[in-house]
């Protein structure tokens, strides 16, 4: 089993080496917009979901061959559920000076032990998509033990304890959390949390639920202006990337599309190949049945069929 994927182009971090700390699909939430699919194990109890030594060994091996901008702790679910995440952060820091980022839904920072485990990360990127309980429940379908006020309180406590960079992501969905009332509510709560950046996102890849509809660029721009100078739009920003080893290209490509659907341009950026090379690679994998195509918002995405080479 592979726990490390990429490097892949990240709209927020440049070239990011992903570390998958949670099996599909274990999460505290079951978001409408989730790209991994529906949550099959909804929990708020941390556990040793992946073998620590194997994970660290894979990270070390990969960093000998590649030089990403960040090592990103993520997962096919919520990574703060991994009970040894602090040891993974410590181990990465022993191996490299590359920044450690944590991609999280931000739902568990009200737990003191979870906050303590992540304090050495360089960048923490939690999500907060509404200031209203009903909307929070509609978007995230959280574990019954979670309420919005508990989650927000956790984010405020994290801000107090954590000395690194906090980039707060807002996933905006048309007709759900893009109204004036929603955006004003978010502004008030975000000001209290006081992150370094507010990163506006919307649905770009085929989501778990068809109700998750993208915002158009104009509305994203209006919300960005309203939220002030810390706000930026991260939806659809292309990122330059570097070239991978030829003999691992197919395996890397399959690894990437297993974790999230990708467009040709994402693959071009991730692997530093020409569009023609990517087209050939993808065509071969389609014919052999390793991947399939899906259209979303006028773009073609490639998805894994779950087969390994």
List contacts with ligand SF4 (CB under 6 A): 27, 29-31, 34, 36, 39, 77-78, 105
Nearer to ligand SF4, 69 or 78 (CB): 78
Least separation in angstroms between CB 74 and ligand SF4: 9
- How deeply is 58 buried, as exposed, middle or buried, from its count of CB atoms within 10 A (0-12, 13-18, 19+)? middle
Least separation in angstroms between CB 208 and ligand SF4: 7
Least separation in angstroms between CB 7 and ligand SF4: 20
Query: Which residue shows structure tokens 């390793």?
Result: 290
Nearer to ligand SF4, 36 or 119 (CB): 36
Cβ 3 vs Cβ 54: under 8 Å: yes
- How deeply is 101 buried, as exposed, middle or buried, from its count of CB atoms within 10 A (0-12, 13-18, 19+)? buried
Nearer to ligand SF4, 138 or 286 (CB): 138
Cβ 202 vs Cβ 214: under 8 Å: yes
Backbone angles phi, psi at 295, to 5 degrees: -95, 140
Cα 166 vs. chain centroid, distance in angstroms? 14
- How deeply is 289 buried, as exposed, middle or buried, from its count of CB atoms within 10 A (0-12, 13-18, 19+)? exposed
Q: Distance between CA atoms of 302 and 132, rounded to whole angstroms? A: 35
Nearer to ligand SF4, 105 or 269 (CB): 105
Least separation in angstroms between CB 55 and ligand SF4: 18
Nearer to ligand SF4, 30 or 178 (CB): 30
Least separation in angstroms between CB 90 and ligand SF4: 24
Nearer to ligand SF4, 23 or 164 (CB): 23
Nearer to ligand SF4, 56 or 74 (CB): 74
Least Cα distance to 29 among 20, 38, 21 occurs for 38
Backbone angles phi, psi at 304, to 5 degrees: -75, 145
Nearer to ligand SF4, 32 or 59 (CB): 32
Least separation in angstroms between CB 214 and ligand SF4: 15
Output DSSP code: residue 170: E
| 3-state SS assignment for residue 11 | coil
Least separation in angstroms between CB 31 and ligand SF4: 3
Q: Distance between CA atoms of 153 and 252, rounded to whole angstroms? A: 39
């Amino acid at each position: 089993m592979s726990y490390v994927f990429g490097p892949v182009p990240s709209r927020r971090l440049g070239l990011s080496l992903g570390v998958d700390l949670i099996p599909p699909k274990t999460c505290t939430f079951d978001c409408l917009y989730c790209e991994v699919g529906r949550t099959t194990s909804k929990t708020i109890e941390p556990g040793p979901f992946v073998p620590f030594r194997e994970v660290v060994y894979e990270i070390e091996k990969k960093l000998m061959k590649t030089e990403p901008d960040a090592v990103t702790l993520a997962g096919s679910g919520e990574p703060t559920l991994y009970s040894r995440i602090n040891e993974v952060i410590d181990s990465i820091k022993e191996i490299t000076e590359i920044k450690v980022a944590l991609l999280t839904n931000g739902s568990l920072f009200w737990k003191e032990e979870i906050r303590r485990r992540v304090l050495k990360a360089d960048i923490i990127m939690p999500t907060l998509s509404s200031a209203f309980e009903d909307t929070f429940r509609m978007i995230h379908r959280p574990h019954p033990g979670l309420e919005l006020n508990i989650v927000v309180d956790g984010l405020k406590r994290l801000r107090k304890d954590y000395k690194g960079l906090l980039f707060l992501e807002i996933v905006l969905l048309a007709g759900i959390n893009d109204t004036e009332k929603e955006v004003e509510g978010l502004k008030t709560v975000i000001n209290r949390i006081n992150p370094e950046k507010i990163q506006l996102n919307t649905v770009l890849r085929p989501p778990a639920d068809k109700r998750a509809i993208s915002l158009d660029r104009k509305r994203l721009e209006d919300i960005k202006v309203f939220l002030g100078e810390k706000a930026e739009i991260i939806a659809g920003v292309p990122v330059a990337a570097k070239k991978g080893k030829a003999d691992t290209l197919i395996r890397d490509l399959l690894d990437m599309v297993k974790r999230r659907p990708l467009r040709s341009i994402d693959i071009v950026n991730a692997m530093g190949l020409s569009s023609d090379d990517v087209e050939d690679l993808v065509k071969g994998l389609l014919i052999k049945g390793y991947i399939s195509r899906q259209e979303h918002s006028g773009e073609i995405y490639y998805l894994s069929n779950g087969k390994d080479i």
